[in-house]
Structure 1
Amino acid sequence: MKLTGKQRRFLRAKANHFRPVFSIGKNGLSEVWLEEVGNALDNRELMKINILQNSDVTTDDVRNYIESKSDIQVIQVIGRILLLFKISNDPDKQIIFNEVKAI
């Protein structure tokens, strides 16, 4: 789903008080890590991840890796924190998606 500017703004506002759930450290990016993030997003739909100081990857590397290998969208990048959004596969957990769709 391609998000409009208004929808992105809504998601950024909704996640303003969130804390990062996953971190990327010196081990970098892997398929297993991306699968775990995808599973967590399937339950939450919206979450933040953090890139630790000892990581060798940049925010651009992470953004490109996530968007090219999955259907997860990077909504915002602030410093070393990324805001991710993915529509849940379970219709009962599509609460945020239904709010976004209404905008």
Structure 2
Amino acid sequence: MLSGKQKRYLRSLAHHVDPIFQVGKGGVNDHLIRHIQEALEVRELIKVTVLNNSGEDRQEVGAELSEKAGAELVQVIGKIVVLYKESKDKKKIELPV
């Protein structure tokens, strides 16, 4: 579980990151989850866009993505979901205590 200070730090890092995945009308599926897990292992911090045609609540999509991918939900702002997961092999981000 991330502290408020750690979430603020990750939000500041995520500001300059571009979204690399989109959730559309197909919703959240196993294929998308697998790719998100792989991207989190390499990058640790990613953004996902929830498209308008998704028809799902963005907060619920963020919670579902973080739960299924084993990641921390940093933020849902507008149509953007920010996820963080510490990498096992390629740790780059040093979280404040």
Could you tell me how far apart the structure 2 residues matched to 1:5 and 1:26 are? 32
Of stretches 2-11 and 59-68 in structure 1, the one that deviates more from structure 2 is 59-68
Q: How many residues align?
A: 97
Give the C-alpha shift of residue 69 in structure 1: 2.2
Q: Please, which runs of 5 or more residues in structure 1 have no aligned partner?
A: none
Given the alignment of the two structures, is residue 86 of structure 1 paired with residue 85 of structure 2, yes or no? yes
Q: TM-score, normalised by structure 1?
A: 0.86
Q: Which has the higher contact order (CA 8 A, sep 6+)?
A: 2
Alignment of 1:1-103 (within 5 A): 2-90=1-89, 93-96=90-93, 99-100=94-95, 102-103=96-97
Percent identity reads 38
Partner SS, residue 62 of structure 2:
helix
- Structure 1 stretches of 4+ moved >3 Å: none
Q: TM-score, normalised by structure 2?
A: 0.91
Cα RMSD over matched residues? 1.3
Q: Which amino acid aligns with 1:3?
A: L
